[in-house]
């Protein structure tokens, strides 16, 4: 083996090798085999975990907000990592939704409230007001 290093995105190991017989060089990539994650919906249905679906939800919540795409992609990475760290084959949508809301709360309060209003299915202004009060209360300095 001539060389071994992580790829730029850190998702694989790039190995540069030389054949002992013909002395030709070749490159191989080794990746960790991911265990599929199944999302358990509220009605009991199961579907494969989909990063793109989470990113679409974040993009919708952050529309016309000053949040960069790399920041949103990083949030999706964090959510996926935390879900994979649970080391379970199935994860309820509530766990994923709470993870997304936690990341949004740190990124942008307006986007957080937008997402929360859909995710928590506010049916009236009172539910919306309670969520705003909870957000404001979490930002108050503690004595």
Instruction: Return left, alpha or beta for 104; rule: phi > 0 is left, psi -120 to 50 is alpha, else beta.
Output: alpha
Q: Can you tell me which residue has the tokens 């009172």?
A: 126
- Quick count: other Cβ atoms within 10 Å of Cβ 115? 22
pLDDT at res. 122? 81
pLDDT at res. 14? 86
56, 67, 96, 109, 120 from 61: Cα distances, Å: 9, 10, 16, 10, 14
Q: How far apart are CA 25 and CA 39, in angstroms?
A: 43
pLDDT at res. 85? 85
Predicted confidence pLDDT, tens digits, the chain (143 residues): 567 777 766 778 888 888 889 989 988 888 777 788 999 999 999 999 999 999 999 999 999 999 999 999 999 999 998 998 886 789 999 999 999 999 999 999 999 999 988 888 888 888 888 888 888 887 666 55
Q: Which two tokens stand for residue 54?
A: 């989470």
pLDDT at res. 140? 67
Domain residue limits, the chain: 1-33, 38-139
pLDDT at res. 2? 66
Q: Can you tell me which residue has the tokens 């990113």?
A: 55
């Amino acid at each position: 083996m001539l060389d071994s290093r992580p790829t730029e995105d850190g998702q694989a190991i790039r190995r540069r090798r030389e054949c002992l017989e013909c002395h030709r060089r070749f490159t191989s990539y080794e990746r960790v085999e991911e265990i599929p994650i199944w999302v358990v919906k509220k009605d009991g249905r199961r579907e494969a975990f989909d990063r793109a679906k989470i990113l679409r939800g974040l993009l919708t919540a952050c529309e016309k907000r000053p949040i960069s795409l790399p920041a949103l992609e990083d949030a999706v990475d964090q959510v996926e990592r935390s879900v994979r760290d649970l080391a379970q084959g199935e994860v309820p949508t509530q766990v994923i939704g709470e993870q997304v809301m936690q990341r949004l709360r740190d990124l942008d309060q307006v986007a957080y409230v937008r997402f929360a209003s859909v995710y928590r299915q506010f049916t009236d202004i009172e539910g919306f007001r309670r969520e705003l009060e909870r957000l404001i209360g979490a930002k108050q300095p503690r004595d």
